[in-house]
Chain A
């Protein structure tokens, strides 16, 4: 068993491209589902809007791919209107059904043979993002690590990484210290310092194990910065009177309506805002691979994002970022662990004579099993998620 491989894979996934684009999508879903209570099962549709907007600018419209970003926002707004206008007057479960259907419609249209000349059919669109891929400073063929003192990181990069690690340590440390000091308020400062230092040490140790290729690394930097900025905006919005109305709608929309708020308009705003954020997730994912494939935006993406969000905790900005990181960290750990196990046991795993794994393609199945078990245990032992508020959860029985 090569444990360093396992840890390297786990920690790389922890900060990796998947976690990054899931985090962006989860921030959006959190606005819709966590704060406004809109059961949106069509998040993949919004992501596809972003991916295809950037893909088509170069491939079909023949203009610079950077124009794809404003176009993506327009697509997401249009998609949000199509989704929301007819359904937001209805009960939540209708919205769930319509969103899942609409997202599937988007996927089936973009992968259809009829529209192949616009969307590239099931092959999708490739090599559209060359102006991003070939842009310096990162060389696609060499390896990079998030560790600030590694050879691949220059002085500016090291300072940037250290600053962002420090910011994470302060914020996350504060949050952990709050959980820790829940009962006795004394000694909060020292608990904050202990938690902050622990987070910093973890980040430094963990980042040393990470390894990415140039394109992934570049996408990571852009994507995580984007996620941090958007998360900051959402944090501010949810503390404003706007956020108060949104949370009120989640609790009881008739009460909010009786107080003179246009509930329908607010729901539409939340749906579209969350969708526009998810669009950036689609953009970052497609750019990080340099290609768009329709089947990357199928139903399961929506549900994995939802799982990651619930894991982190609903209606918490921190939860929507840490949840996806842990989700992909755990999955990669299981995957890498089973891979190493299979290798060290000579290519197959038998337990009590039952052949559980006979070839490496079986491992994916067990990873799925772990997702299911993770959800079950989460719902039983910590329904509020990692960062959720247990007290709020207890008030649910209305």
Chain B
């Protein structure tokens, strides 16, 4: 079920209005794309994991990337954030060509990702995890490391920002604990809030709900909607269809490395191609086998 029109926030209404007249077909052009990929192909040996003709992500929206296991969603994430290099293709973020740009530079440009298997830095405290996320720190040059007066002021500012984020994600009581002592759901929250420390324009979440209990899922939903309210664009991979329906403005469906459908959540849930991909209408043709 689509979210009730009355409960939509101002930004959600803007995002949905912008996407209202976009035709629900794969590779369709958006009014104001923040990220564009064209002809991106990646194969591992004989298997083509990702083969995307064209895809655009609308700025200021929440876009869900769904698809059966092995559809190439995470590989696509890796390619966009330069954790992996495509065989062919071009992709742009915010109008800048990302070909040949190293992974750590994408974060400086305002594109940050999380990981499917949470990567919390276990032997560091929660607050240290958070402070690591801030970009452009003067004290991260080794010669400045020895001169605390060059970075102390910035450090205090970062710490205040980190504390505010921890409070928002309800992790403030764990502030000084080792990240390794957090539960799986808390680690997801920590990873997301740490990513926000980079002040991103585009947040890419790889399965933010995996292993999170239903009560926490609700608040995580609110957090993700909150990101859009603050002007960020969210792209997330998810299997939980209820959640996709609840929070996303646009849905992109991948199967066997290709984009097979695009549209608003309502259009997608009635799209025969999607039902085929998920439920396997093509008898005897297993998607899992191909991956």
Most chain A beta carbons < 10 A, residue from B121, B123, B140? B123
With contacts A248-B124, A260-B104, A395-B180 known, is A255 near B142, CB below 8 A? no
Residues of A within 8 A of B133 (CB): 259
Residues from 208 to 265 in B contacting A, C-beta threshold 8 Å: none
Binding-face segment, A66-74, A76-84, A197-205, A237-245: A237-245
Residues from 357 to 398 in A contacting B, C-beta threshold 8 Å: 391-392, 395-396, 398
**Which of B108, B132, B137 has a CB less than 8 Å from the CB of A256?**
B132
Binding-face segment, A14-22, A101-109, A261-269, A344-352: A261-269
With contacts A260-B108, A395-B122 known, is A240 near B146, CB below 8 A? yes
Chain B 108-126 interface 0/1 with A at a Cβ cutoff of 8 Å (1 = within): 1000111100011111100
With contacts A259-B135, A392-B123, A395-B122 known, is A241 near B107, CB below 8 A? no
Q: In the complex the two chains form, is A252's CB within 8 Å of B145's CB?
A: no
**Which of A242, A259, A398 has a CB less than 8 Å from the CB of B112?**
A259
Residues of A within 8 A of B74 (CB): none
In the complex, residue of chain A having the shortest beta-carbon distance to the beta carbon of B143: A242
With contacts A244-B128, A260-B198, A395-B178 known, is A255 near B115, CB below 8 A? yes
Q: In the complex the two chains form, is B123's CB within 8 Å of A236's CB?
A: no
Interface size classification for chain A? 20 to 34
Roughly how many angstroms separate A236 CA and B146 CA in the complex, as a whole number? 6
Residues from 157 to 208 in B contacting A, C-beta threshold 8 Å: 178, 180-181, 191, 194-195, 197-198
Query: Min CB distance, A81 to chain B, in Å?
Result: 16
Q: In the complex the two chains form, is B142's CB within 8 Å of A391's CB?
A: no
Q: In the complex the two chains form, is B123's CB within 8 Å of A251's CB?
A: yes
Roughly how many angstroms separate A260 CA and B112 CA in the complex, as a whole number? 8
Residues of A within 8 A of B132 (CB): 244-245, 248, 256, 259, 261
Q: List 13 A-B contacts (CB under 8 A).
A: A240-B144, A240-B145, A241-B139, A241-B155, A242-B139, A242-B141, A244-B140, A251-B123, A258-B114, A259-B194, A260-B198, A261-B104, A269-B142
Give residues in B with beta carbon < 8 Å to A: 81, 83, 102-108, 112-115, 119-124, 128, 131-133, 135, 137-142, 144-146, 148, 151, 155, 178, 180-181, 191, 194-195, 197-198
